[in-house]
Amino acid sequence: METMLKVVVQPRPGSERDKERRRKKKNARELTSSSSSRYPSMPSYPASPSRGEIDVSEIRTARFQVTGMECAACAGSIEKAVKRLPGIEEATVAVLQNRAQVVYRPAFVQEESIREAIDDAGFEAVIIPDDARQPSRIITRFRIKGMTCTSCSNSIESALSKLPGVQMAVVALATEECEVRHDPGTITRAQLAITIDDLGYEAELLSVDEESTGEEFNRVRLQLESVTDSADFQVVEEILSGLSGVASFDVDRTSAMATVSYDPEKTGPRTFIESIEQSGAFKAKLEAPTGQGSHDRSLEIQHHKNYFLWSLVFTIPVFLLSMVFMYIPGMMEGLEMGRINNLSIGALLRWILSTPVQFIIGKRFYSGAYKALRRGSANMDVLIAMGTNAAYFYSVYTVFRAATSSEFKGTDFFETSAMLISFIILGKYLEVTAKGKTSEAIAKLMDLAPDTANLLSVDEDGNVTNEREIASELIQRRDIIKVVPGSKVPTDGVVVWGQSFVNESMITGEARPVPKKLGDKVIGGTMNDNGVLHIQATHVGAETALAQIVRLVEAAQMGKAPVQKYADRISTYFVPIVVVVSFIVWLAWFVSGKARSYPKSWIPASMDEFELALQFGISVLVIACPCALGLATPTAIMVATGKGATQGILIKGGQALEAAHKVKTVIFDKTGTLTIGKPIVVDTKLFKDVRRQEFYNTIAAAEVNSEHPLAKAVVEYSKRITGELSSHGSEKHEVSDFEAIPGQGIRAVVDGKATLVGNMRLMKESQIEISEEVQEHLHETETLARTGVMVAINSEVVGVISIADPVKPEAAKVISILKSMGIRSMMVTGDNWGTATAIARELGIDRPSIHAESLPEDKARIVKEIQATGTTVAMVGDGINDSPALVAADVGMAIGAGTDIAIEAADIVLMKSNLDDVITGIDLSRKTFRRIQLNYVWALGYNVLGIPIAAGALFPSTGFRLPPWVAGAAMAASSVSVVCSSLWLKRYKRPRVVEEIRRSEQQ
Question: Catalytic positions, please?
Answer: 669
Q: Could you write out the DSSP letters of every residue in 363-413?
A: HHHHHHHHHHHHTT---HHHHHHHHHHHHHHHHHHHHHHHHH-SS------
Is the four-CA dihedral 33, 35, 38, 40 of positive or negative sign? negative
Q: Are 919 and 991 in contact (CB under 8 A)?
A: yes
> Could you tell me the CA-to-CA distances from 866 to 18, 84, 613, 783, 894 in Å, in that order?
73, 69, 60, 28, 20
Three-class HEC string of 659-674: HHCCCCEEEECHHHHH
For residue 507, the one-letter residue type is I
Q: What is the CA radius of gyration of the chain?
A: 36
Nearest Cα to Cα of residue 246 among 235, 262, 259, 269: 262
Strands (E), 253-357: 257-262, 283-286
The answer to whether 102 touches 66, Cβ cutoff 8 Å, is no
Distance CA 943, CA 949 (A): 10
CB 231 within 8 A of CB 555: no
Greatest Cα pair distance, the chain, in angstroms, is 125
Nearest one of 707, 712, 684 to 790, comparing CA atoms: 684
Q: How far is CA 262 from the centre of its chain?
A: 24
Give the alpha-carbon dihedral of 452, 453, 455, 456, to 10 degrees: 150
Quick one: three-class SS letters along 910-944?
ECCCCCHHHHHHHHHHHHHHHHHHHHHHHHHHHHH
Phi and psi at residue 523, in whole multiples of 5°? -110, 135
Residue 724 identity? E
Cβ atoms of residues 109 and 87 within 8 Å:
yes
Residues facing residue 509 across a β-bridge: none
Asked if 488 contacts 450 with a C-beta cutoff of 8 angstroms, the reply is: yes
Instruction: Count CB neighbours of 280 within 10 A.
Output: 5
Distant-in-sequence contacts of 426-430, Cβ < 8 A, 24+ apart: 426/308, 426/972, 427/968, 427/969, 427/971, 427/972, 427/973, 427/975, 427/976, 428/304, 428/972, 428/975, 429/301, 429/304, 429/305, 429/307, 429/308, 430/972, 430/976
**b (16+ CB within 10 A) / e for 727-738:** eeebeebebeeb
φ and ψ at 182, to 5 degrees?
-150, 165
Compute the residue count for the chain: 1003
Could you give the strand order of the β-sheet that contains 177-182, starting from the edge strand earlier in sequence? 166-172, 177-182, 138-145, 202-210
Q: Tell me if residue 580 falls in helix, strand or coil.
A: helix
CA 936, chain centre distance (Å): 25
Q: Are 396 and 348 in contact (CB under 8 A)?
A: no
Q: Determine what percent of the chain falls in helix, strand and coil, rounding each to the nearest 5.
A: 50, 20, 30
Burial 167-180 (b: 16+ CB within 10 A, else e): eebbbbbbbbbbbb
